[in-house]
């Protein structure tokens, strides 16, 4: 990763105490036109990075995922249960009901960034992610953990330990892993170009890059 760009971005977009949050909201993702009601479900449980915060509806990476699946004629429905500002604790509390309601074939867990930005203990983040992965597997779903990184202004040691939480959970829970959700966005040659004016949330131009980061890990998990 191009750390010099990520370091520069850290000085502007992630001051201590700030979170990927403005107002709690869930974003429903419409199923592909003409799709059967009992088609397999990919459930996305995330925060504002997946909840289309600040974007026109239907322009976020999750909506682009549904479009890609439809374009490849894959009969899979994407359910976006992401909430802006959510933490792993919030996701853990919401997940059992989501599993019962949607009976997903795949669960994508995109949480953890707000835990770090709020200074929550890494052990708690790891435990929540592990529990979510385990509950998803017990419900019969494949699991994809979407990793996040903190800039070095949080301290090199903390940043490394935070990064390792996601890989450790994925390994222990036999889940697939996206190492860094914002690769090519936060660490690109001109990172500010890919963020909204708040310099926290990726803009519309960044969404295809985010999908491209998720797709190689997600595709092998999709029902055939």
Q: Return the active site residues.
A: 48, 198, 201
3-state SS assignment for residue 44: strand
- Token pair in block for residue 80: 């976006």
Dihedral sign of CA atoms 207, 209, 210, 211 in order: positive
Contact 44, 8 (CB under 8 A): no
b/e map 44-83, b = 16+ CB within 10 Å: bbbbbbbbbbbbeeeebbbbbbbebbbeeebebbbbbbbb
């Amino acid at each position: 990763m191009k750390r010099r760009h990520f370091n520069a971005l850290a000085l502007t977009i992630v001051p201590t105490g700030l979170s990927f949050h403005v107002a709690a909201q869930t974003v429903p993702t419409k199923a592909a036109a003409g799709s059967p009601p009992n088609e397999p479900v990919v459930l996305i449980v995330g925060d504002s990075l997946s909840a289309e915060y600040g974007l026109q509806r239907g322009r976020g990476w999750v909506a682009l995922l549904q479009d890609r699946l439809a374009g490849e004629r894959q009969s899979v429905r994407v359910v976006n249960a992401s909430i802006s500002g959510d933490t792993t604790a919030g996701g853990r509390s919401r997940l059992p009901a989501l599993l019962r309601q949607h009976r997903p074939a795949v669960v994508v867990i995109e949480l953890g960034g707000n835990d770090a930005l709020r200074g929550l203990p890494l052990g708690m983040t790891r435990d929540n992610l592990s529990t979510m992965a385990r509950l998803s597997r017990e419900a019969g779903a494949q699991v994809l953990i979407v990793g996040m990184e903190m800039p070095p202004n949080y301290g090199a040691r903390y940043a490394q330990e935070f990064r390792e939480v996601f890989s450790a959970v994925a390994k222990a829970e036999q889940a697939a892993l996206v190492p860094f959700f914002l690769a090519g966005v936060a660490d690109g040659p001109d990172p500010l170009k890919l963020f909204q004016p708040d310099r926290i949330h990726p803009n519309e131009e960044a969404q295809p890059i985010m999908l491209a980061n998720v797709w190689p890990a997600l595709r092998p998990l999709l029902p055939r």
